[in-house]
Amino acid sequence: LRMRVTFLLAKLRGIIQLPRSTMEKVQSCISFQIKPKSSMMVFKMGKSFLRTLPFVQRRTCCNELDRKKQQFGKVTHVIFDMDGLLLDTETVHEQCIGAIMKKYGKVFDWQLSLRILGASEKDGAEILIDEAQLPLTVEEFIKETAELEVEQFSRCNLMPGAERLLKHLHHCNIPMALCTSEREEYYLLKTKNHQQLFRLLNHRVCVPNNPEIKRGKPYPDCYLACASRFPKPALHPSQVLVFEDSLNGTLSALRAGMQVVMVPDSRMDEDKRRLATYSVQSLDQFKPELFGLPAFPSSSVNKNVPVVLKEQLSLQRLNLDLPCFDCVVKSKVEMNANAKFPPVTHVIFDSDGLLLDTETVHGECINSVMKRYGKELTYDMAALIRGRPQKDGFQFLVEEAKLPISSEELIQLTDEKEKGRFPESKMMPGVERLVKHLHKHNIPMAVCTSEKSEYYNMKISRYTEIFKLMHHTTCIADEKQITRGKPHPDGYLFCATLFDPPLPKANQILVFEDSISGASSGLAAGMQVVLVPDESLDKSKYPKVTCSLKSLLDFKPECFGLPPYDD
Q: What is the pLDDT of residue 323?
A: 28
Question: What average pLDDT score do residues 453-482 get?
Answer: 90
More confident residue, 278 or 418: 278
pLDDT surpassing 90 at residue 244: yes
Domain positions in the chain: 2-50, 77-84+157-309, 90-153, 346-354+425-560, 359-415
Q: CATH assignment of 359-415? A: 1.10.150.240
Return the amino acid letter for 329.
V
Residue 205: other Cβ atoms inside 10 A? 20
Of 372, 348, 377, nearest to 362 by C-alpha is 377
Q: What SS3 state is found at 86?
A: coil
90-153 CATH choice from 3.30.70.990, 1.10.150.240, 3.30.420.40, 3.40.640.10: 1.10.150.240
Q: Give per-residue pLDDT as tens, 288-320.
A: 999 999 999 864 444 333 333 333 333 333 333
Alpha carbon separation from 225 to 156, 259, 314, 487 (Å, rounded): 27, 16, 18, 18
pLDDT surpassing 50 at residue 22: no
Q: Give per-residue pLDDT as tens, 330-354.
A: 334 455 556 789 999 999 999 988 9
pLDDT surpassing 70 at residue 487: yes
Asked if 523 contacts 329 with a C-beta cutoff of 8 angstroms, the reply is yes
Question: What average pLDDT score do residues 178-186 get?
Answer: 91
> Annotated active-site positions, please?
350, 352
Alpha carbon separation from 246 to 181, 212, 416 (Å, rounded): 12, 23, 50
Q: Give per-residue pLDDT as tens, 247-264.
A: 889 999 999 999 999 999
Domain 346-354+425-560 in CATH 3.40.50.1000: yes
Q: Give per-residue pLDDT as tens, 534-557.
A: 776 666 666 789 999 999 999 999
What is the fold, at CATH topology level, of the domain defined by 77-84+157-309?
Answer: Rossmann fold (3.40.50)
Q: Give per-residue pLDDT as tens, 353-411.
A: 899 887 677 677 788 888 888 888 776 777 667 656 677 778 888 888 888 888 888 88
The Cα–Cα gap between 475 and 460 comes to: 13
Phi and psi, residue 81, nearest 5° = -75, 170
Whether the domain at 77-84+157-309 and the domain at 90-153 fall into the same CATH topology: no
pLDDT surpassing 60 at residue 271: yes
Asked if 211 contacts 225 with a C-beta cutoff of 8 angstroms, the reply is no
Q: What is the DSSP string of 222-261?
A: HHHHHHHTSSS--SSGGGEEEEESSHHHHHHHHHTT-EEE
More confident residue, 535 or 50: 535
